[in-house]
A and B are shown apart, each in its own frame.
Chain A
Amino acid sequence: MTIVIIVIALVVLAALTLIVVRRRRNSAALVSAPRAAMPEVLVHEVAERPQLLDDVPVLEQRLGASRSIFDRVRSMVGAGTVSAEQLDVVEEVLLRSDVGVATTTAVLDDLRANGAPEGVAHAVRTALLGAFAPEREVTTVAEPGRVPVWLFVGVNGVGKTTTIGKLAKRHIDQGRSVVLAAGDTFRAAASEQLQQWADRTGADIVRAAEGADPGSVVHDALGRAAARGADIVLADTAGRRANSTNLLDELSKIRRVADRAPGQVVETFMVLDATTGQNALSQAREFHAAANVTGIVLTKLDGTARGGIVVAIERELGIPVKFVGVGEGVGDLIIFEPRAFVDSLLDT
């Protein structure tokens, strides 16, 4: 008996899925389900701006704690042909850094074909640096009359809210006035978390109740920023997995709202945890398709993780890493520097 029931359940299951697949094809532009009615938006006024310590760390120093660059690679003597043993070591170092099989294979092929005229260390370094674009700019201005918006996207738990807090501090230190949009209305207490950052950095914040439409929060933040003549809006979004069309559709919608006058999205950052492995590639691909990602913020690089996956992301998708988080402190989010980063990858 059981078996009959199960077969039936499966048939219904499959049929339902088929129905949905077709339905999706038929109605390409599926509108995401409406969320709860728009609640009252809370606006937080800033009384004073607390002074924060300004101690900008240098990536090399932060990563340099255990950084005896290339130890295993540099200890390889000789130039010219690379031996099989040396290739094995290079492979191991790269794989352990989360660079990925494809990129590692490419580097090894390069070493095999061209040898290492100036030593293995130099050759590997050059090969990896080749993956990075030499210039990376961070845009902070919009067209005249519009408010520049930085939008933050990413999966759950990568540190979006914390990143926004730290970047708010950075902007304020550089003399810009900041409005934070608490667009993560899904996770419990996410706006409280951002509120605390606003208090610490002296930014304005616009937030709404849990379950509110994130688009409306962003919209209100833009209105407020325009009215007060704020210099930049930093918009938070809820963490979401990158394999759900509905959640990505919602993200596209938030981006459209943020990009409508008076706002203009000048940067969309995908925040990425340095411990992430190869899944980061598909995250980047999906978020890029949904929200046109302009840069990556690599967080939590102060641990034992190497974050090598960004090499693959830059190499395969051409999305530049722009900031990197190297500590818990509010000033520990710094501009990304490819050279220092590549050195840290090769440090075993």
Chain B
Amino acid sequence: MFDALSERFERLGTSLRSRGRLSDADLDEALGEVRSALLEADVELGVVRAFLEAVRVRVSGETLSQSLTPGQQVIKAVHEQLVEVLGGSPLKVTYASRPPTVILLAGLQGAGKTTTAAKLAQWFKQQGRQPYLIAADLQRPAAVEQLRVLAGQIGVDVFSEATDPVEVARKGVREAERLGRDVVIIDTAGRLAIDEALMREVRSISDATSPHYTFLVIDAVTGQDAVLTARSFHETLALTGIIVTKLDYDARGGAVLSARGVVGRPVVFASTGEKLADFDLFHPDRMASRILGMGDMLSLIEQAERTMDPSVVAESAGRMMSGTFTLDDFMTQLNQVRKMGSLGGLMRLVPGVTKEMRNAASNVDDGELNKIEAIVRSMTPRERREPSIIDGSRRTRIAKGSGTTVNAVNQLLKQFGEMRKMMKQMSGGGMPNLPGGMGRMAQAAAKASARRGGELPPGFEALGAGMNAAAPVVRGGGGKNKKKKGGRVTPPKQR
């Protein structure tokens, strides 16, 4: 997400880095680039103007830093401003002292309210709550049916009846109270902000249920209209926050900036895919880094810590460093990584990865990984330890056993060999043959870890040092991130 914006800023970073100092003309040119980038990313014009003004104030107010090049200084200012606009610290979800906690979802048609309602219910379930869904979208054909099907998949009850939306919502909340559910999520029909009758209706639903949270569901591909929509919904419903959907598209997601800038309420949740699990809290500070192409190491590390088994990984890691990495180790690692989530989702968090790799990763489905696993599982233990003994007839057997082709087996073996070579070189110090972004990846991992107070193993610093010149480094985010950690809601455990 925000890929294109990141790319622009990366280019901007490069051209500014090559200059010694920043003149007024330079600043104008740089901000002009930022303006185009933001507009192309669908940030609303008014929000863009305010943003640029704020960046200009930031840059001109500062004395030229000794340690930063002028280009880095602009990028730093842009980054800080992005963090500010995207919402400083995330909203902390608290629960009503007298349950149920009522949550109202509203938005345009097609923004993804119904799917979001189910995803939100699942999120609360993972938090140990007992959610209850109310289907108050009686407008779109089969909307209630859709919510029922989705709710069935996560084992949450749905309330609905064919009366009118306000009545459904009111009864639903009462029903939830009776059943002792502590979180109620109300799905409403999509409506246009200029449709006065429907806006009055959603207002009545809100009045009848007095929700503790009212979320605007907004689509990441939305253009300039995001501001108007957000503003009208905010005026009608007094939003507590925004939920952004379809962040898995290659959209630049400027709508998030626009809506956030106009409504002044935080983006709370983000939906990143069609599966019900593709949903989590939105992290503004991380998102700002992502926009600037810095990747999102914190998310990655958190995810790793949550899901990986350190002892298992450490064991094969040792062999990896010593160059005796086997196909068994490969399987172990593969399974550990798979536990962390989809490859595509993970690659998005890694800084400096090329677009091609990212797209490729997002296209890998479970089937393909299963196939790799099937091939390895069809080998004998000895073959897994010493792949070099696999000859023609063994290949045929493996292909048959795994239901693939000899060609597929060949490919896997060849690539495994290359991977092993790569690892050997890596453990021999430096990272000579790693593809483009990997050096930066390691460096960013080191930085992120340092930020969190983790210790660097000896030699690691040297590993990243060589990359320093190449990677765009934005300082200044680090200290802030740390401070905010306290207030953040811990993301749910993934299955």
CB pair A282–B350 under 8 Å, yes or no, is no
Q: Given A190-B142, A276-B221, verify A7-B109 contact (CB < 8 Å).
A: no
Write out the residue numbers on chain B whose beta carbons fall within 8 Å of the beta carbon of A97. Answer: 224
B411 touches A22 (CB 8 A): yes
Looking at B69-77, B234-242, B301-309, B380-388, the stretch in contact with chain A turns out to be B301-309
A96 with B224: CB separation less than 8 A:
yes
Please determine whether B221 and A95 come into contact, CB atoms closer than 8 angstroms: no
Q: Which residue of B lies closest to A275 (CB)?
A: B225
Contact B334 A12 (CB under 8 A): yes
Chain A residues in 8 Å Cβ range of B415: 15, 18-19, 22
Q: Which residue of A lies closest to B419 (CB)?
A: A15
CA distance A8 to B300 in the complex (A): 13
Residue of B nearest to A276 (CB): B221
| B438 interface residue (CB < 8 Å to A) | yes
A96 to chain B: which residues have CB within 8 Å?
Answer: 44-45, 224
For the complex, is A227 an interface residue (Cβ under 8 Å from B)?
no
Given contacts A3-B460, A12-B337, contact A189 B45 (CB under 8 A): no
What's the minimum C-beta distance from B189 to chain A, rounded to whole angstroms? 10
**Interface pair B141/A197, CB less than 8 Å apart:** yes
Closest residue of A by beta carbon distance from B109: A300
Q: Which residues in chain A, 1-28, are within 8 Å of chain B measured between CB atoms?
A: 1-24, 26
Are B112 and A6 touching (Cβ within 8 A)? Answer: no
- Contact check, A2 vs B449: say whether CB atoms are below 8 A apart: yes
Closest to A197 in B: B141
Is A119 close to B, CB under 8 A?
Answer: no
- Interface residue? B54 (CB, 8 A): no
Contact with A along B295-333 (1 / 0, CB 8 A): 000001100110010100110110010000000001001
Within 8 A of A (CB), among B341-361: 343, 346-347, 350, 353, 356-357, 359-361
**Which residues of A, 111-159, contact B by the 8 Å Cβ criterion?**
155-159
Which of A4, A33, A274, A283 is within 8 Å of B314, CB to CB? Answer: A4
- The yes or no answer to B364 lying at the interface (CB within 8 A) is yes
Dominant secondary structure at the A interface? helix
- CA of A241 to CA of B246, assembled, Å: 8
Of B146, B224, B423, B434, chain A has the most CB atoms within 10 Å of the CB of: B224
Is the beta-carbon distance between B445 and A10 smaller than 8 angstroms?
Answer: yes
Please give, as numbers and ranges, the residues of chain A lying within 8 Å of B333 by CB-CB distance. 8-9, 12
CA distance A158 to B226 in the complex (A): 15
Identity of the chain B residue whose Cβ is nearest the Cβ of A280 in the assembled complex: B221
Distance between Cα atoms of A11 and B458 in the complex (Å): 19
Q: Does B465 contact A (CB under 8 A)?
A: no
Q: Is the CB of B449 within 8 A of A3?
A: yes
**Which of B18-26, B34-42, B123-131, B163-171 has 4 or more CB atoms under 8 Å from chain A?**
B34-42
> Is B223 in contact with A157, judged by CB distance below 8 angstroms?
no
A242 within 8 A of partner (CB): yes
> Which of B83-91, B247-255, B284-292, B473-481 interfaces with chain A?
B247-255
How many angstroms from the CA of A153 to the CA of B179 in the assembled complex? 42
Residues of chain A with a CB closer than 8 A to B255's CB? 277
Let me know if B313 and A9 touch, CB within 8 A.
yes
Chain B contacts for A12, CB-based, 8 A: 330, 333-334, 336-337
Residue pair B460, A9 in contact (C-beta under 8 Å):
no
In the complex, A246→B344 CA distance in Å?
A: 13
Given A10-B442, A14-B435, A188 and B219 touching (CB < 8 A)?
no
Contacts A19-B415, A241-B248, A282-B250 known; 16 new A-B pairs at CB < 8 A: A3-B460, A6-B300, A7-B442, A8-B320, A9-B340, A13-B347, A14-B435, A17-B364, A18-B435, A20-B343, A21-B357, A23-B368, A155-B246, A246-B363, A279-B251, A304-B192
Residue positions of B touching A, CB distance < 8 A: 36, 39-42, 44-45, 108-112, 140-143, 145-150, 192-194, 219, 221-226, 228-229, 246, 248-252, 254-255, 274, 300-301, 304-305, 308, 310, 313-314, 316-317, 320, 330, 333-334, 336-337, 340, 343, 346-347, 350, 353, 356-357, 359-365, 367-369, 372, 411-412, 415, 419, 422-423, 426, 434-435, 437-438, 441-442, 445-446, 449, 454-457, 460
Binding site for B on A (CB under 8 A): 1-24, 26, 33, 92, 95-98, 100-101, 155-159, 186-190, 192-193, 195-197, 210, 241-246, 273-280, 282-283, 300, 302-306, 308-309
